[in-house]
Amino acid sequence: MQRFLADTGYASIDDIAALGSRADHPVTVYVPPPPGKKGIKPENLAARERKRAKEPPVLQDWRTRMASEEGEAVMKRRKRIELVNAQTKNRGFGTMLVRGLAKSLPS
């Protein structure tokens, strides 16, 4: 099984459902859901829960996975490598316009 890790907002609900429901190559998606609005009215919260209860099982599994300790652990490990990537970009190593290690390293 393959895994797909991305930031919040990178993949839409439709993308997550499409990736998770592939029969030929199932993909486990790890994308944190967007944060919920604060100060929401109880009737709106109940409507949101009813809507989520009607979602496909793939999306329900994704929401459960991301709320679990496993989902938090995966995103915590991902955070470490993102810090390394950010530091690399801040030191001048942005997009490489050439291919291959030999061409991208200075002579």
The total of structural domains in the chain comes to 1
Q: Using 50, 70 and 90 to split pLDDT, how confident is the model at 106? A: low
In tens, the pLDDT along 13-42 reads 888 888 888 878 878 889 888 888 888 899
Mean pLDDT within 55-80: 90
Contacts of 69 (CB under 8 A, 6+ apart): none
Residue 40 to residues 8, 36, 87, Cα–Cα distance (Å): 21, 9, 38
Range of the domain at 77: 2-104
- For residue 22, give the DSSP letter: -
CA atoms within 13 A on the CB side of 106: 2
Q: With a cut of 80, say whether residue 46 has pLDDT above it.
A: yes
Please give the Cα distance from 45 to 37 (Å, whole number): 10
Structure tokens at 56: 């496909």
